[in-house]
């Protein structure tokens, strides 16, 4: 787990370096915290986690890095069940996110084909360039714990 987290930080730093964004001191700390987030988070939650590691790092630094990472496509903004949230996502290929309405965890998934979406928008006279799709549901762990739809026997 620690190793995966370090890999993740390295990948984020490489991506920022490749864009000529200078290495600054709090960056590594924030990236380290970000890499350890196991579910989508708000910028306030991320700031609180960062402050536990280094109380000198304020909201402005956290928010600025978050926006840089969004610009690089390494952090995505989800809408989720209740509030907006950010998620660290290193996937490059087209994909979607499903968020659990009970525990807040998120997973990625892909559609077998997006032809039915294309057909649906053709009915209103559009040609599709791209689409954004996000699912809110109940994850397997929460279903097993008795939440949401019935668990199949
Ligand atoms: Zn993603
Ligand atoms: Zn899609
Ligand atoms: Zn869940």
Residues of the chain with pLDDT under 70: 1-5, 21-25, 82, 149-153
Q: How far is the CA of 105 from the centre of ligand 3 (A)?
A: 6
pLDDT the model gives residue 1 = 43
Give the contacts of 64 (CB within 8 A, at least 6 positions apart): none
Cα–Cα distance, 107 to 86 (Å, whole number): 13
The segment(s) of the chain belonging to CATH 1.10.10.10 are: 2-87
pLDDT the model gives residue 72 = 80
Q: Tokens 């926006």 appear where?
A: 67
Angle at 89 between CA 83 and CA 94, to 5 degrees: 100
Express each pLDDT in 99-122 by its tens digit.
Answer: 999 998 999 999 988 888 999 999
pLDDT the model gives residue 79 = 80
Q: How far is the CA of 105 from the centre of ligand 1 (A)?
A: 13
Neighbours of ion ligand 3 (CB under 5 A): 100, 102-103, 139, 142
pLDDT the model gives residue 40 = 93
2-87: what fold?
Arc Repressor Mutant, subunit A (1.10.10)
pTM for this structure?
0.78
Contact (CB, 8 A) for 97 and 85: no
The segment(s) of the chain belonging to CATH 3.30.1490.190 are: 92-144
User: Domain 92-144 carries which CATH code?
Assistant: 3.30.1490.190
Q: How far is the CA of 143 from the centre of ligand 3 (A)?
A: 7
Q: How far is the CA of 74 from the centre of ligand 1 (A)?
A: 8
Q: Tokens 């536990």 appear where?
A: 52
**Ligand sitting nearest the alpha carbon of 131:** 2
């Amino acid at each position: 787990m620690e190793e995966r987290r370090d890999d993740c930080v390295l990948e984020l730093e490489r991506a920022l370096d490749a864009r000529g964004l200078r290495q600054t001191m709090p960056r590594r700390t924030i990236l380290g915290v970000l890499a350890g987030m196991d579910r989508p988070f708000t910028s306030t939650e991320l700031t609180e986690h960062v402050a536990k590691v280094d109380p000198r790092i304020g909201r402005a630094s956290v928010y600025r890095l978050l926006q840089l990472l969004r610009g690089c496509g390494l952090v995505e903004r989800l809408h989720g069940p209740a509030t907006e949230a950010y998620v660290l996502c290193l996937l490059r290929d087209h994909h979607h996110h499903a968020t659990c309405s009970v525990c807040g965890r998120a997973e990625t998934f892909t559609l077998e084909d997006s032809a039915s979406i294309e057909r649906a928008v053709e009915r209103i006279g559009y040609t599709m360039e791209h689409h954004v799709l996000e699912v809110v549901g109940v994850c397997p762990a929460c279903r097993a714990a008795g939440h949401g739809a019935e668990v199949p026997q």
